[in-house]
Amino acid sequence: MTEKQNWYPIDKLLMFESMVLESINNTLEQYALFMEAKEKPHMLDDSIIDRGVRVYQDQMEETTWHERQIARWRQQGLNEWQRVQVDKFEADNNRFRDESKKVLELLEELRKGTINRIIGMSDEELGLNVLLGKIKPPFGGK
């Protein structure tokens, strides 16, 4: 997302608010799904992680664009209702950024145990990591 930023009039605020709220919900759902994989990261491969990272990095960039749009709106003569709505949008955009960051952090943690990482280990390295508890055995081991 390296395009030039488009500026929008304040009457588009509710559209942006709706999009951010939907994106927060989608991000929370994806976070829950990736959390399920935390116990079995070997079920994921690097390409899944890479796609997720690209999506959530793009989302982080979106939040930066929103921040600039918010700053631009604040420079305008807003009425009380508009100020309240811009404040709400800013808070929701901050949450969107925070939730996206959490997914990115989780993806980087999951990357350490993808099937690509497991396959890339020597037998000795894999065995040692299992014995040290760094990697859980795929079938019922403790």
Question: What pLDDT digit, counting tens, does each position of 41-90 carry?
Answer: 988 999 999 999 999 999 999 999 999 999 999 999 999 999 999 999 99
pLDDT of residue 22 exceeding 90, the answer is yes
Q: How many residues make up the chain in this entry?
A: 142
Q: What is the pLDDT of residue 133?
A: 80
The mean pLDDT of 30-35, rounded to a whole number, is 97
Q: Is residue 122 part of a domain?
A: yes
pTM above 0.75, yes or no: yes
Boundaries of domain holding 100: 10-131
Q: Is residue 138 part of a domain?
A: no
Question: What pLDDT digit, counting tens, does each position of 84-107 carry?
Answer: 999 999 999 999 999 999 999 999
Tracing tokens 């799904």 back to the chain, one arrives at 33
Q: Which helix (H) or strand (E) holds 69?
A: helix 46-74
Q: Is residue 127 part of a domain?
A: yes
pLDDT of residue 131 exceeding 80, the answer is yes
Q: Is residue 104 part of a domain?
A: yes
Q: Is residue 3 part of a domain?
A: no
Report how many domains make up the chain: 1
State in Å, rounded, how far the first CA of the chain is from the last one: 44
CB-CB contact of 24 with 99 (8 Å)? yes
CB-CB contact of 61 with 23 (8 Å)? no
Q: Is residue 142 part of a domain?
A: no
